[in-house]
Structure 1
Amino acid sequence: MTTFFDGKKSFADVPIVDTKIDTAAFLEASEALVKLFDLLGSTAFAVVQKDMTGNIEKVRAKLLADPAQASTLQDLILSEAGTKSKKATQGLLWLVRGLQFTAQAMRNTVNDPSKELQATFTDAYNKTLSKYHGMLVKPIFKVAMMACPYRKDFFQKLGDDQTKVNEELEKWLKALEEIVTIIMDFFAKGDYGKGL
């Protein structure tokens, strides 16, 4: 019995040493998360996927160009802090915002089995990404939220063995939430997201 999480890099596998997050492993786990939107089965989520993938590429370009200075997410941010070009930092900030939205949507879904995805994802969007989006982007996301599949169909796509799906999902989600919290706190404490 396989689940969506099998054979993919999980956020639970991302090394964190003294709250420093390994960049390469984080990017692999983020790429696996982008595939989660395929299960939502709507082309409306293509915009979300494209945005997240573009941000992953910005962070990866920095990692490849300067592995020593970008081996952890925090080092990457610090390496650009005193420079004019903050392309990777901006990419990371927007990627983490997207991850925060996904984590919130999935947490709402897991914690309240009576709610459909349309409700949990809309609620998560309103609490996370909505405040950063202008009037041109918000309608695109509203369409995506309306296109969410039924809860039972989505969970069926995650895997046949729902007990295993729930265990894997909870482990993945806890790790994702921890990583999002660490990075958001780091951005906030150093005011590294200012103007990005």
Structure 2
Amino acid sequence: MSDKTFFDEMKRSFKDIPVDEHNQISTREFLEASSSLVKLFDLLGSAAFQVVVNDMNGNITKIQKRLAQDPEHSKTLQGMVLEETKDGGKKMGTQALLWLSRGLQFTEAAMRETLDHPEKEMTETFTTAYKGTLIKYHSMFVRPIFKLAMKACPYRKDFFAKLGKDQEKVSEQIREWVKALAGIVKIIMNFYASGNYGRGL
């Protein structure tokens, strides 16, 4: 039986995303790390999380499409947003990145809450994270769907067992991953705030 963990199997971790001295984030590697993150929801083992998975995958696809359309300006996430802002047309990539980043922010908050409160089950830690992140962006029709997903979280011991056999290694890797994810999300959110790029999206 393989001793590899979920994090060993990832195509790319958030700690491996190139960020230059101006905090410019490489789009291609960011998309790889985001796709790897979405697989985490498969481990939660409930059809209720399909709504989260579909939302994130849909936004990843839109950013990939934008990268393919304009690889020169979309090499970095910030470059993509600035070019779409300059164009004044449809902001497909800008909107997709904003919503994907909100999803990443929720995931980071949920996992951090789970790590910081080992005495709590994941239904509680994920619900707390949802209330602190995504809920304010969701309509009264969407909220019940997400709340149902939070209630469908597995027992934490079952979830952590799925992450890998070596629990000490898993614990170390997940903390490193959550820290890197938080750093990337912070850069993106600060960038959006700096130019009010999310206005109307």
* Band of TM-score, shorter chain: over 0.9
Equivalents in 1 of 2:143, 2:199: separation in Å? 22
Work out which of the residue numbers 92, 116, 123 in structure 1 matches 2:128.
123
Identity %: 58
The within-5 A match list for 1:6-21 is: 6-8=8-10, 9-18=12-21, 19-21=23-25
SS of 1:165's partner is helix
The within-5 A match list for 1:83-162 is: 83-162=88-167
Q: CA deviation at 1:115?
A: 1.1
Equivalents in 2 of 1:171, 1:65: separation in Å? 34
Work out which of the residue numbers 168, 181, 194 in structure 2 matches 1:163.
168
Equivalents in 2 of 1:115, 1:63: separation in Å? 41
Q: CA deviation at 1:170?
A: 1.1
Q: Which amino acid aligns with 1:76?
A: M
Work out which of the residue numbers 41, 44, 47 in structure 1 matches 2:45.
41
In the alignment, which residue of structure 1 is the partner of 2:26?
Answer: 22
Q: Which amino acid aligns with 1:63?
A: L
SS of 1:33's partner is helix
Structure 1 residue 51 corresponds to structure 2 residue 62: no
Q: CA deviation at 1:84?
A: 1.9
Equivalents in 2 of 1:191, 1:165: separation in Å? 38
Work out which of the residue numbers 162, 185, 191 in structure 1 matches 2:190.
185
TM-score (norm 2): 0.96
SS of 1:114's partner is coil
In the alignment, which residue of structure 1 is the partner of 2:7?
Answer: 5
Count of residue pairs brought into register by the alignment: 196
SS of 1:71's partner is coil
Q: CA deviation at 1:112?
A: 1.2
Q: Which amino acid aligns with 1:119?
A: E
Q: Structure 2: state its 5+ residue gaps.
A: none
Structure 1 residue 63 corresponds to structure 2 residue 71: no
Q: CA deviation at 1:171?
A: 1.2
Equivalents in 2 of 1:111, 1:26: separation in Å? 26
Equivalents in 2 of 1:76, 1:113: separation in Å? 39
Q: Which amino acid aligns with 2:142?
A: V
Structure 1 residue 176 corresponds to structure 2 residue 181: yes
Q: CA deviation at 1:195?
A: 0.3
TM-score (norm 1): 0.99
Q: CA deviation at 1:5?
A: 0.8
Q: Which amino acid aligns with 1:14?
A: I
Equivalents in 1 of 2:91, 2:80: separation in Å? 10
Equivalents in 2 of 1:59, 1:121: separation in Å? 26
Q: Structure 1: state its 5+ residue gaps.
A: none
Q: CA deviation at 1:7?
A: 2.8
In the alignment, which residue of structure 1 is the partner of 2:200?
Answer: 195
